[in-house]
Amino acid sequence: QAKVAGKSCYRFYSRAMDQAVERRVRMEQDLRGAWERGELSLVYQPIYRLGDGQLVGAEALLRWQHPEQGSIAPSVFIDVAEQSGLIETIGPQVLRAACDDAMRWHTQFPRGKDLFVSVNVSPRQLRSGELPEQVVATLRDTGLPPPQLHIELTETAVIGDEVHASALLARLRSNGVKVWLDDFGTGFSGLSHLRRVPVDGVKIDRSFVSDVLRDPDDLALTTAIIAMAHSLGITVIAEGVEKEGQYAILRERGCDLAQGYWLGHPVGAQEFSGLLA
Ligand code: C2E
Ligand code: MG
Ligand code: MG
Ligand code: MG
């Protein structure tokens, strides 16, 4: 009996696995050339300074409008792009488009003069080693001043290969580009890595921010991250601010910048221009 059940169980799992693999392969095929077909686009989420409420920057976030399946979440397709290596083609296209948009804001609006654009870079893009050259070439071609480009990396991109990663980050920063550590605090080891990995800022993960009003531990951790970062001369941004109370307490604790649905949802480049006009 058990043997039979086990067997059918195995068959069930292997079918489910086959389907999952098939879906991934399909998605990978569909993702190939998606940029050229105009299915991929960027939206921008505003970033504000907590001290005076000024709009200071925008995070570029990739969107995929699949012709049959509609919009697919980046958490799904970025992973496929990363695993398949497609990210090494898509990543530079994202970088170029974000710098183009930021340069347009820079030239067209007084309020866009010093606005930074923050671009997410995946572990594989960093590991390939070509990032510093890509960044330099993109800044040269678009004319965007280097300090107005921020590169966001997750802890996982950096951890495990600190020597190589640190050298690449140092090269980026020597060109004037700012480097941020994204989703900070999710691996608590991050705190000690800050000593060895040169970054300009950390983005406190949404999971901490969402609980700062309810959970004293999350508030304590957030406050500690802010204090520690500041003592190292590192800027702090909070992501996922969904409530006024969260904004208020982060501001009171000295957090530098913030983004989140309460402040503004990600919007297309055109609509973002409206915030600057
Ligand atoms: P991330 O870099 O941590 O981006 C922040 C995510 O939080 C975004 O999700 C954003 O839409 C969402 N968000 C912003 N404010 C709030 C809020 O108040 N509440 C909640 N619940 N969520 C909020 P999104 O756009 O789905 O992106 C997910 C992840 O996909 C990003 O996380 C990033 O890791 C990755 N990603 C997005 N675009 C790119 C890209 O161009 N390149 C790479 N390599 N990764 C990207
Ligand atoms: Mg990010
Ligand atoms: Mg994040
Ligand atoms: Mg909690």
CA-based torsion, 146, 94, 275, 50: positive or negative: negative
- Below-70 pLDDT ranges, the chain: 1-13, 187-191
How many H-runs (helices) and E-runs (strands) does the chain carry?
12, 10
| Buried b / exposed e along 127-152 (16+ C-beta atoms within 10 A) | eeeebbebbeebbeebebebebbbbb
Q: In the predicted model, what is the mean pLDDT of the chain? A: 92
Atom of ligand 1 nearest to the CA of 61: 38
> How far away, in angstroms, is 182 Cα from ligand 1 center?
10
Q: Residue 66 C-alpha to ligand 4 middle, in angstroms?
A: 35
Closest residue by Cα to atom 25, ligand 1, is 61
Using CB atoms within 10 Å of the CB of residue 173, give its burial: 0 to 12 exposed, 13 to 18 middle, 19+ buried: middle
- In the structure encoding, which two tokens stand for residue 62, read together? 């990739």
Gap from CA of 63 to ligand 1 centroid (Å): 10
Q: CB 184: neighbour CB atoms within 10 A?
A: 28
ipTM above 0.95, yes or no: yes
43 CA distance to ligand 2 middle (Å): 12
Q: Whose CA is nearest to atom 41 of ligand 1?
A: 62
| Ligand 1, atom 11, residue with closest C-alpha | 266
Residue nearest to atom 7 of ligand 1 (CA): 240
pLDDT of residue 191: 66
pLDDT of residue 157: 85
**What length is written for the chain?**
277
